[in-house]
Every structure is written in C-alpha cells, then in structure tokens.
Amino acid sequence: MRTSSPDNTRRSFLWTASAAVATRGRPILGANDRVRIGVIGVGGRGRDHINTWSAIPEADVAAICDVNQASRERAMALAEKLRGAKPKEYADMRELFEDKSIDAVSIATPNHWHALATIWACQAGKDVYVEKPASHNIFEGRQMVRAARKYNRIVQVGSQGRSIRHKQKAMKLLEEGVIGTVYMARGLCFRRRRSIGHTPDEPVPPGVDWDKFLGPAPMKPYSKNKYAYNWHWFWDTGNGDIGNQGVHEMDQNLWGLNRYSFPREVSSMGGKYLWKDDQETPNTQQAEFDFGDAEIVFDVRNLPSPPEGSSPIIGSNYVGNIFFGAEGYMVVDPYGFRVYKGDNRELVMEGRPEEPRIWDTEPHMRNFLEAVRKRDPKVLTAGVEIGVAAAAFCHLANIAYRLRRRLRIDPQAERFIGDEEANRMLTRDYRKPYVVPEIV
C-alpha cells in the first residue's frame, strides 16, 4: 500500500494557501461566462488546441499568436470558421499578455518557450494551459511553480492522461493495493520515427521571426530541421523523445508510485543508432531512477520495437506503463489497464477506455476550465507542480545521458552531489531579453 509523501503534503498546503487568496482582484466567472483564451503557438498541436477549445461551449478562442505569419493566417481562418468571428492576432506574445480582455492562454510553443511564456502570463494575470513538458530544464520548472503561486494563477500542464478515466481508475487500484506494495514502475516509449536527414543553413523564410522563435535559446542560423516539428531533436529547443512523448509515461510512473521527490541516483545510456543526420538527441535511451526502496526504469526507442507486458500490438507505436508489485503487475496504456497476479500471471481484472478517443484532450481542458471558474488549483488533475515533476525526471535522465555517468542526488536540495558539471545543466545560459528570472 502507498502512503502520502512529505512532498504531497507540501503541495497540498501550497494549493490550499493559494486557493484561499486566488479570488482577490478577480471575480469568479459565472455559469454563463465564457473563458476568453489566447492560443500561443499554432503549429500542429496549436491547431489541435483551437479545435478542442472551440468544441467546448465554456471557452472562446479570442486571440491567436505565432511568430510565423503563415501559421497565424491558417489559424485565424480556422478559429474564425469555428467561432463565427475573427479572433485578435498577435505576432508577439508579450502584446497578447497586455490584452486585458484575455482571461487565459493556451501555450503550444516549442519546449524551450514553455516556462518563460507561463511566467510572463502569470505576471500579466492570465491563467495558463501549457503543453508538456512543462519546462525545458529543472530551474525553469521551479520558477513556474513560484510564479503560479505568487500571482495566484491556475496553471494546468498538458498531461492529459491525468484526466482519462481508465487511468484514474488504474491509479486508484494501485493505491488500494491491488498488486501489493509497488516497487517498480516501467515506462515504455516506443514511437517509430524516421531519420530527419540533413538540411543546410539558409536564409530565414519570409514571415518567420527567427529571433522570437529561438527566444531563450542561443542564436544560430536557420535550417528546416531546426524548425517545424524537428526542433524536438535539438538540445537548444527540445528534450528528445523522453521529453516529448515520454513525459506522458514518466508522469504515469510518478503517479503510480506516488513519488514526486527526486530519486537518490539516476543513470541513463543509449545513443543515436543507424541514423546519420542532424538530430542531436538519442533515438534509443534507457534510464533508471533509484529511490532506495523503489525504482523507475524507462525505455525510449524510435526504432522497430515489440510491445511489453501482454499489451496489444497496434501499428508501429506502443506507449504505456507496467507497475510491478509484491503480488503481481499492472499494465496501463491508451487501450486500458490489465492486472495480472500470481506466478502464472493470471489476468484478474481489466478496464477499457471510456472516452470516445484514447488521446482525447477535451476532458483535460474541461478540467482546466472548471478550476478557472472556481479559482481553485486543487481542482486541476495536472497542476503545475505535477507537470514540473514529470518534466524534471526527463531532464535528470537527459543530464545523465549527456554526461555518460551515474549521478548521485540530494533529493531535498534537488542538486547533484559532488558534480558541478551536472549542476550547471540544471539551467541554461539565457539569451537576452528572453531570460527566465531568478525572482519571478
């Protein structure tokens, strides 16, 4: 059976304290009020945000922001078609934050912008729905939490599995001891991807503000591979697949183990095998997090891989989690959950998805709106501290991978022991004026 950790108690206190003052200076929205949302970053995922918010009667996509003029024009046309009126248009998120008519922002930028955009939004009095991973590094995540609490903002991270009913039921069963004491969580991120090849440096395309796209990252020449979706595979802007798809499974690991404090040790190995291209992040990565009395083992593969844990074989991708306990194990994935017990691995219980679509984001966004209306961060299923914790574990794995050594950690200080090279990687050198502040 699991017990509440000191970290959970601390988080509960923060939520309670912030909720007590959250309504100061801002009225609670009435039942007929629509939350006016500005969507920031309207590439593929951002357009998903527009579609999903537009399907929820309580939300209104009132503004669009992107550094790419062509992306803005496509998004403006989509939003106008769905809402029947043209939203406001911004090329600079700072101007959107100054718009007093906007209640909340929905951030679908590249990873390296998530934290600074969230902090600026909180400082401007906006509530925030921000895509995963919450942050690009560990320092940023801490600052996001501080900003959300200081400015009494509702901040939800896009770990939508937290709002999926069959996953909620599975985690409740683990908490109740369905497989006894849980001692290991295994995260599986088998997403089939292809080599991105090579693209040369070239002039920035017309209509793209390359300076604002890079933002906090170092200024480097434009190339097609550093832009659009492939920014995920460069350390300046992305976190590899462990911080892309993998952060969903990392969050499930923490949820099922009920562990949010740092482990005492982390190691990670792997590499970029077979491909000869511009990608910097690995296409194969294994990570292990040691808590002393439990562990997380995480596996990322972008090359052909079989599923594990009696999971269905559906297409070339498989993502999910396996929880190991004293009496058996549980498999949790988008297709449901299954509980196996005994030495013969007898299937004793299973649950199937209840939502119409296994990756449906709508319940998660509805949960955010409920918290906004009530001015209560405790309503959130993936509030900022939860999202920051999942991202931090991905960052720990990437630091160990890049340094190619096992790292010891002080969980209370959230720093590496006797390794200043690793500690420097807890943050980054920010490019002015796009600096995540020390004091939010």
Q: Are 189 and 287 in contact (CB under 8 A)?
A: no
Coarse DSSP helix, strand, coil percentages of the chain, rounded to the nearest 5 percent = 35, 20, 45
Question: Going by C-beta distance under 8 Å and a sequence separation of 6 or more, which residues neighbour residue 357?
Answer: none
Q: How far is residue 411's CA from residue 7's CA, in Å, rounded to a whole number?
A: 11
Q: pLDDT value at position 355?
A: 78
Give the sign of the dihedral formed by CA 188, CA 191, CA 194, CA 199: negative
pTM: 0.92
Q: pLDDT tens track of the chain, all 440 residues?
A: 343 343 443 333 333 333 333 333 344 555 458 999 999 999 999 999 999 999 999 999 999 999 999 999 999 999 999 999 999 999 999 999 999 999 999 999 999 999 999 999 999 999 999 999 999 999 999 999 999 999 999 999 999 999 999 999 999 999 999 999 999 999 999 999 999 999 999 999 999 999 999 999 999 999 999 999 999 999 999 999 999 999 999 999 999 999 999 999 999 999 999 999 999 999 999 999 999 999 999 999 999 998 887 777 677 899 999 999 999 999 999 999 999 999 999 999 999 998 776 667 999 999 999 999 999 999 999 999 999 999 999 999 999 999 999 999 999 999 999 999 999 999 999 999 999 999 99
What's the residue count for the chain? 440
User: 117 with 104: CB under 8 angstroms?
Assistant: no
Is the Cβ–Cβ distance between 139 and 423 less than 8 Å? no
Q: What is the pLDDT of residue 14?
A: 35
Q: Identify the structural domains of the chain with CATH numbers, from first to last.
A: 6-162+360-383 (3.40.50.720), 165-357+391-424 (3.30.360.10)
**In this predicted structure, what is the pLDDT of residue 434?**
98
Q: What tokens were used for 344?
A: 């013969």
- The dihedral region occupied by 170, where left means phi > 0, alpha psi between -120 and 50, and beta the remainder, is alpha
pLDDT of res. 20: 34
Q: From the CB of residue 94, how many other CB atoms can be counted at a distance below 10 Å?
A: 13
User: What do you get for the CA distance between the two ends of the chain, in Å?
Assistant: 39
* Beta-sheet strands, E only, within 251-293: 265-271, 284-290
Q: Contact at 8 Å (CB) between 120 and 97? A: yes
Give the pLDDT confidence score for residue 30 in this predicted structure. Answer: 52
Residue 182 tokens read as 């849980």
pLDDT of residue 316: 85
